[in-house]
Amino acid sequence: MENKFQTYNEFIEAFNKRKEVNYFNVTPIALKELDEWVFIGNKSYLQHVSGKFFKIEGLRVKTNFGTVPHEWDQPIINQPEIGILGIITKVFNETRYYLMQAKMEPGNINILQLSPTVQATKSNFSQVHKGKLPIYLEYFINRKKSEIIIDQLQSEQGGRFLRKRNRNMIVEVKEDINVLDNFFWLTLEEIKELLKINNFVNMDVRSIISTIPLIPSSKIPFCYKTYCNKKEILSWFIDQKVKYELETEKISLTEMKNWNISDDCISHNNDDRFSVIGVEVQAKTREVISWTQPMIKDLNIGLVGFIIKKIDGVYHFLVQTKVMPGNIDIIDLSPTVSCSNYILTKPPFIDYFNGNKKSKIHCDTIQSEEGGRFYHFQNKNMIVEVDENEILDIPENYMWISYYQMRQFIPQGMFNVESRSLIAAINFI
């Protein structure tokens, strides 16, 4: 891991120093204490007084996905605009580097995490914040200043966001760039190493990094054996879209069955579900010095995990289609297991993750969801390999997909953010 700017250990040290420099205090507060956030129309929904940023709305969900057709209500984040999650890359002496940021988000359990060069909402562009334009954003907007390497629309959490996507970008610059405080040039190898640390690399980085193939497509053999060919997988994916129905209807927050809207928070009758709380933030490095905002809080540590297996010598991933209420197109490709209360609900294949059945663990870390909306929201991220001879009984909404096929489907936005978080961590193929 050669890095001409600093060694790996020097980086870790410098990163930790940023925590001391950047004062950042986050306090949970009651919803009624929120500064510029108000309930509209008899607690119909919660929004910023400007009408910008995002809304917390009520959603009624009907789907035939799951064991029985079912229906439920839940709060959801509605932020229809498409933001930019962007990383600047530059080649120095034939080595490619990525410009990473030590950035604080109010929901981060450890406050500071490794973030992309830029995380910008459309509100940032149009300066609703009334603050400064995010630094380095010009390289993503002005096409003359960079060459686009990656530019893909990718979805956010379909369980919490309504049809939310961000533009995942990597742009290459040739000119010299002034590296500001909190920014570091890192190699992909180093970022992959940092992914082995709990809650270090933020969700936005993981999403962007997942789009970078470990093996350049020019080096993938033209013919390789796969369990199903591309056409068969795409037909299966359409089968699933035809089969599963998702009907959503916006309702007033107060109409939501099993949810309570108090002055403090929006919470479920069942304590172990997520809730909507307020937080107060005081910071020096944000575009605005201090602010309050609603956040989604979930203290459960969930599990997202892929089972992988060599089929004819080629790594295959066991993906499942999953209907989530905020999905843009009914289903996404989800990890083998993706579950908030996996200990209680015992989802299919859980035995390969908890040691009840034999598997080889490639990754096992705890990672945070995006700290701008999610408060202390963590998932165990695991990739486990089963023996080539292990026979798994695969339900019809699961499919073995090779690593190479995965690479072809990612740019089309077929993998959900939980999958991409896991794919980012792959360094063993």
Residues making contact with a copy of itself (CB under 8 A): 80-82, 122, 143, 148, 151-153, 167, 231-232, 234-235, 238, 241-242, 245, 247, 249-250, 328-329, 412
Whichever of 251 and 366 has its CB closer to a copy of itself, that residue is: 251
Whichever of 241 and 357 has its CB closer to a copy of itself, that residue is: 241
Contact 139, 170 (CB under 8 A): no
Q: Least distance (Å) from a copy of itself to the CB of residue 306?
A: 25
Whichever of 179 and 238 has its CB closer to a copy of itself, that residue is: 238
Contact 24, 182 (CB under 8 A): no
Contact 190, 105 (CB under 8 A): no
Q: Least distance (Å) from a copy of itself to the CB of residue 189?
A: 25
Q: Which of 77, 73, 75, 76 is nearest to 257 (CA)?
A: 73
Q: What token pair was written down for 161?
A: 């966001």
Whichever of 151 and 287 has its CB closer to a copy of itself, that residue is: 151
Q: Least distance (Å) from a copy of itself to the CB of residue 148?
A: 6
**H-helix or E-strand spanning residue 166:** strand 165-172
Place of tokens 């980085």: 205
Q: What token pair was written down for 371?
A: 């700290």
Q: Least distance (Å) from a copy of itself to the CB of residue 87?
A: 16
Regarding beta strands 290-297 and 374-375, do their DSSP bridges make them parallel or antiparallel, or are they unpaired?
Answer: parallel
Whichever of 154 and 381 has its CB closer to a copy of itself, that residue is: 154
Q: Least distance (Å) from a copy of itself to the CB of residue 134?
A: 15
Whichever of 190 and 204 has its CB closer to a copy of itself, that residue is: 204
Which residues lie below 8 Å from residue 409, measured CB to CB, with a gap of 6+? Answer: 233, 333, 401, 415
Q: Which of 429, 224, 394 is nearest to 311 (CA)?
A: 224
Whichever of 208 and 283 has its CB closer to a copy of itself, that residue is: 208
CA distances from 36 to 49, 76, 266, 291 (A): 5, 19, 18, 9
Q: Least distance (Å) from a copy of itself to the CB of residue 216?
A: 15
Contact 303, 339 (CB under 8 A): yes
Contact 77, 373 (CB under 8 A): yes
Q: Least distance (Å) from a copy of itself to the CB of residue 145?
A: 14
